[in-house]
Amino acid sequence: MNLQIVMLLGQDGITNGAIYALLALSILLVFTVTRILLIPQGEFVAFAALTMAAMQGGTPVRLGWLLLALSAAAMVMDIHAAWRRDGRLAARRGSVLSVGYAAALTALTTLLPLADAGVAVQALVTMALIVPLGLALYRVFYQPIAAAHPLVLLIVSIAVHVVLVGVGLLMFGPEGARTEPFSDGGLRLGMVMLNSQTIWVVAVSLGLILGLYLFFERSLYGKALRAAAVNRLGAELVGISPELAGKASFALAALIGSLSGILIAPITTIYYDSGFIISLKGFVGAIIGGLASYPVAALGALLIGQAESFSTFWASSYKEVIVFTLILPVLVWRSLSHQGAEDEE
């Protein structure tokens, strides 16, 4: 192994690690605000990548139908809730609007020739599909049991993941896909040739992390979410509805997931079920951060990226084994430093 290979592997590691770091942050965000371990985080990634690929390949974009179905289900649930509450059949304006939005977007993606629209437009359309998908997922699957025991939430998360993978196969088929890189060429820094996609990934990740930082530090919504993460009941008492906090965190998770998918699609071939393995590496990062610390989680995820990249070189077929075994020492350390028994509420 010479220096050039080290640089190459390191660059790969940073690219993947940056994506894992984004996912780890998103997983942590959703977990602290809602106590939900967002196992379906990976599906946002895979769906975004495959939707981009479908647009570029000129094959039908079917994600709109899923959004439409979920929005319709959300509307039915809203009507049902209204019926049980005041005995009237009435739909909230919001849920009608979201069904309309989903219908319009579905029509748009089906009819418009998006293949020639350029990467920027394709990425925007993809995010416009996936962010509301996050909202709808929360509304349909999690909101009715938002107060349930974390174990129930985890089981629902697993179930939603399983459903989405199945639907993913239905929408995208079993073939993998890769998208065109955002730009050609690269940047030469001394003896190192930086891949253009690496620069894109790192730049967008840094931008997103900065954006999130500003959102949480400076905006009222961000502060409300932080309050909900620190103390749900307290936040509710000062008027931050857990529903809003849940939806906002899911929308952010979907945004981060779709961006990650768009970024990773030119680097790796993505299949309908690839999201899980990718997001699991985000989970490993989050575990390294103790399901609590954002910076440690991000650093952990970067480390996972490096470990993966270098184990590809040394023992390629044991890559996943090595990466997932990495959490063992972390868990040992956490167990040893853990004090006494605590009650989970």
What are 194's strand-pairing partners? 187
Q: How far apart are CA 341 and CA 200, in angstroms?
A: 45
Q: How far is the CB of 132 from other proteins (least distance, A)?
A: 19
Q: How far apart are CA 4 and CA 88, in angstroms?
A: 69
- 167 part of the interface to other proteins, by CB under 8 A: yes
Q: How far is the CB of 151 from other proteins (least distance, A)?
A: 5
Out of 97, 107, 124, 169, name the contact with other proteins by CB under 8 A: 169
Kindly tell me which of 107 and 145 has the beta carbon lying closer to other proteins: 145
Give the range of 9-17, 120-128, 153-161, 233-241 binding other proteins by CB under 8 A.
153-161
The answer to whether the CB of 79 falls within 8 A of the CB of 90 is yes
User: Of 131-150, which residues contact other proteins (CB under 8 A)?
Assistant: 141, 144-145, 148-150
Q: How many residues does the chain have?
A: 345
DSSP category for residue 342: -
Out of 66, 67, 125, 156, name the contact with other proteins by CB under 8 A: 156
The answer to whether the CB of 204 falls within 8 A of the CB of 263 is yes
Say what the alpha-carbon torsion angle 327, 299, 22, 9 is, to the nearest 10 degrees.
Answer: -90
151 CB neighbour count, 10 Å cutoff: 9
Site string for other proteins, 321-340 (x = CB under 8 A): x--xx-xx--xx-xx--x-x
Out of 154, 192, 199, 251, name the contact with other proteins by CB under 8 A: 154
Q: How far apart are CA 124 and CA 126, in angstroms?
A: 5
Angle at 19 between CA 32 and CA 31, to 5 degrees: 10
- 121 part of the interface to other proteins, by CB under 8 A: no
Q: How far is the CB of 202 from other proteins (least distance, A)?
A: 27
- 320 part of the interface to other proteins, by CB under 8 A: yes
The answer to whether the CB of 264 falls within 8 A of the CB of 49 is yes
- 60 part of the interface to other proteins, by CB under 8 A: no
Closest CA relative to residue 41, chosen from 250, 201, 212, 237? 250
Kindly tell me which of 149 and 203 has the beta carbon lying closer to other proteins: 149
The answer to whether the CB of 230 falls within 8 A of the CB of 44 is no
Query: Residue 248 corresponds to which amino acid?
Result: A
Out of 118, 166, 207, 295, name the contact with other proteins by CB under 8 A: 166
User: Which are the contacts of 277, defined by CB distance < 8 A and separation ≥ 6?
Assistant: 42, 320
Q: How far is the CB of 250 from other proteins (least distance, A)?
A: 15
- 47 part of the interface to other proteins, by CB under 8 A: no
Site string for other proteins, 251-290 (x = CB under 8 A): --------------------------x--x--xx--x---
Kindly tell me which of 152 and 214 has the beta carbon lying closer to other proteins: 152
Residue 318 has which token pair? 């044991």
Q: Could you tell me the CA-to-CA distances from 258 to 50, 116, 177, 273, 330 in Å, in that order?
A: 10, 20, 16, 15, 29
Closest CA relative to residue 302, chosen from 319, 282, 332? 282
Out of 170, 210, 214, 230, name the contact with other proteins by CB under 8 A: 170
Q: How far apart are CA 19 and CA 197, in angstroms?
A: 12
Site string for other proteins, 214-253 (x = CB under 8 A): ----------------------------------------
Contact residues for other proteins, defined by CB under 8 A? 37, 141, 144-145, 148-152, 154-156, 158-163, 165-167, 169-170, 174, 277, 280, 283-284, 287, 291, 317-318, 320-321, 324-325, 327-328, 331-332, 334-335, 338, 340-345
